[in-house]
Chains A and B, each alone.
Chain A
């Protein structure tokens, strides 16, 4: 039989694309080496354009429907469990750790799927005010969120870097570096889960090559890095981001309700009570 090797590509706007620059970088695994797209500034701009549209289409769906779609992602991963385990083992994990990681990932997805239509009840509030008013903290998703995934070899970790923002209605550009094979492999199941195109874009590359542009880009509303950044680049990012009042989160929580808080915009609504 002819040996078929897979070429992993970026997942942008519901399509698998190479970098427009044609550039790649290599990730060496134990038995295989992969050439992945080295995301260029132009690729990034395309992803932002797509996320901007994706935000609208993702938010047009009811929260209940979003729950179903996120849940479907866990179904897809379960169906392809073997291929994930194989890939994780090739990354250096033992078979049992790899299986455990997939279990965790599926649990995480189910938890966020459940949260997707309930979070506003948990984080929103009717505030006590002195007067004949209702005072309501209404919660909305921030918009387009850029997330930098950690280098840890774990599907669960990867999922925890984009689901907190995605599950509450943000559209996400998820960027991975050294473990990008996992992310681009996951793209296939993301694509099969009925997520509207642009709601989740998965990119691979070198963050140092693009962070200057990302932090300046006015259309990105928040940048969350789940990977430790050095002081210098963090300073540049914060300075650049200040011109567009972009929110920057360095190593935000990946667990529980606190994980979604950074991506929520609160609007306070006053309404007369009347008698």
Chain B
């Protein structure tokens, strides 16, 4: 059913077994907070820091999701994703650019066969408040335009009304529409509020065939949090124990500086292992984060604090 890095989630995870997964969900809130705060105080040595910062660049989904987006803006951003720091060959390219469906073809034309992927949000991002038929149309359009990856939102209306089945079925239908394209499912953790909700939504999304689960749309003030990332990591781990399928995590929304990004890396590494320190399993959705990371990389190399003025716009 699902296909990521050559792995296949063989039999579709049935709704009946998904229900069973959800039944046992309990999250120790204090424990989560303690664990995150202890992981956040870890100090990183200089060489590891450079490596971590390069990881962050290679895991970046450079994102612009505004009504004011134009072809020119997307082209500029895509150029930056392909060559984040033109003065430094050692800085890798970003993982992907993330745009609205109407701008996918423009970005795709530029990335061509490079290793920068084009991701498109769909399913009426960010609210998802339309019937499934419209979501499917939206998604098919993005794929036809050439998107390599699709970022959808879960149906929060159904989730809060307790209709988990509907949440599940919609993702299954959208995954089917995506075929072999990478599917990232956005939980919008800021709206889900409790850790238990986050874990439930994670498990539903994974069982329905998502390749990635993603924290937020970046459209509400309550974006990603390290705690949410930890809870999602635990869900991914649990799901892997049961099915053998390794899903990815994308954190997005409000991650603006390099230090914060590294803390996220520490969390996934500690919870899921080193395999997840890879753009195939972990991503940052960000617009301003990349600038700070580039500044820090050059700082480490030149020993001088940098200004974004000297880095490409985008």
Residues of B within 8 A of A217 (CB): 304-305
Residues of B within 8 A of A240 (CB): 304
In the assembled complex, the CB of A145 is this many whole angstroms from the nearest CB of chain B, namely: 15
The complex places the Cα of A98 from the Cα of B305 at a distance, in Å, of 41
Q: Mark A179-220, 1 if CB is under 8 A from B, else 0.
A: 000000000000000000000000000000000010011110
The complex places the Cα of A19 from the Cα of B306 at a distance, in Å, of 22
Residues of B within 8 A of A45 (CB): 305
Contact A243 B302 (CB under 8 A): yes
Contact B307 A219 (CB under 8 A): yes
Kindly report which residue of chain B lies nearest to residue A240, judged by CB atoms: B304
Q: Mark A28-48, 1 if CB is under 8 A from B, else 0.
A: 000000000000000001001
Q: Mark B276-314, 1 if CB is under 8 A from A, else 0.
A: 000000000000000000000000001111110110000
Residues of A within 8 A of B302 (CB): 216, 243
User: Any chain B CB within 8 A of the CB of A125?
Assistant: no
Interface size class of A (residues with CB under 8 A): 10 to 19
The complex places the Cα of A219 from the Cα of B307 at a distance, in Å, of 5
Contact B304 A243 (CB under 8 A): yes
Residues of A within 8 A of B310 (CB): 218
In the assembled complex, the CB of A219 is this many whole angstroms from the nearest CB of chain B, namely: 4
User: Any chain B CB within 8 A of the CB of A83?
Assistant: no
Contact A48 B305 (CB under 8 A): yes
- Chain A, 40-62, CB within 8 A of any chain B CB: 45, 48
- Chain B, 258-282, CB within 8 A of any chain A CB: none
User: Any chain B CB within 8 A of the CB of A236?
Assistant: no
The complex places the Cα of A216 from the Cα of B302 at a distance, in Å, of 9
The complex places the Cα of A243 from the Cα of B306 at a distance, in Å, of 11
Chain A CB within 10 A, most for which of B302, B307, B309: B307
User: Any chain B CB within 8 A of the CB of A127?
Assistant: no
User: Any chain B CB within 8 A of the CB of A107?
Assistant: no
In the assembled complex, the CB of B55 is this many whole angstroms from the nearest CB of chain A, namely: 23
The complex places the Cα of A240 from the Cα of B304 at a distance, in Å, of 9
User: Any chain B CB within 8 A of the CB of A244?
Assistant: yes
The complex places the Cα of A218 from the Cα of B309 at a distance, in Å, of 9
In the assembled complex, the CB of B288 is this many whole angstroms from the nearest CB of chain A, namely: 13
- Chain B, 225-240, CB within 8 A of any chain A CB: none
Contact B307 A216 (CB under 8 A): no
The complex places the Cα of A246 from the Cα of B309 at a distance, in Å, of 14
- Chain B, 194-236, CB within 8 A of any chain A CB: none
- Chain B, 84-128, CB within 8 A of any chain A CB: none
Q: Mark A227-265, 1 if CB is under 8 A from B, else 0.
A: 000000000000010011000000000000000000000
The complex places the Cα of A216 from the Cα of B306 at a distance, in Å, of 9
The complex places the Cα of A213 from the Cα of B302 at a distance, in Å, of 11
The complex places the Cα of A45 from the Cα of B307 at a distance, in Å, of 12
Chain B CB within 10 A, most for which of A213, A217, A218: A218
Kindly report which residue of chain A lies nearest to residue B304, judged by CB atoms: A216
Chain B CB within 10 A, most for which of A240, A243, A244: A244
In the assembled complex, the CB of A15 is this many whole angstroms from the nearest CB of chain B, namely: 19
The complex places the Cα of A243 from the Cα of B310 at a distance, in Å, of 12
Chain A CB within 10 A, most for which of B303, B304, B309, B310: B304
Kindly report which residue of chain A lies nearest to residue B310, judged by CB atoms: A218
Kindly report which residue of chain B lies nearest to residue A212, judged by CB atoms: B303
Kindly report which residue of chain B lies nearest to residue A217, judged by CB atoms: B305
Residues of B within 8 A of A213 (CB): 305
The complex places the Cα of A219 from the Cα of B298 at a distance, in Å, of 14
The complex places the Cα of A222 from the Cα of B269 at a distance, in Å, of 42
The complex places the Cα of A244 from the Cα of B307 at a distance, in Å, of 10
In the assembled complex, the CB of A239 is this many whole angstroms from the nearest CB of chain B, namely: 12
Residues of A within 8 A of B309 (CB): 218
Kindly report which residue of chain B lies nearest to residue A213, judged by CB atoms: B305
The complex places the Cα of A156 from the Cα of B303 at a distance, in Å, of 36
The complex places the Cα of A48 from the Cα of B305 at a distance, in Å, of 10
The 9 A-B residue pairs with the shortest CB-CB distance in the complex, in nearest-first order: A216-B304, A218-B307, A217-B305, A219-B307, A218-B306, A218-B304, A218-B305, A243-B304, A45-B305
Having A216-B304, A218-B307, A244-B304, one finds 15 other A-B pairs with CB under 8 Å, namely: A48-B305, A216-B302, A216-B305, A217-B304, A217-B305, A218-B304, A218-B305, A218-B306, A218-B310, A219-B306, A219-B307, A240-B304, A243-B302, A243-B304, A244-B307
A-B contact pairs, 23 of them (CB 8 A): A45-B305, A48-B305, A213-B305, A216-B302, A216-B303, A216-B304, A216-B305, A217-B304, A217-B305, A218-B304, A218-B305, A218-B306, A218-B307, A218-B309, A218-B310, A219-B305, A219-B306, A219-B307, A240-B304, A243-B302, A243-B304, A244-B304, A244-B307
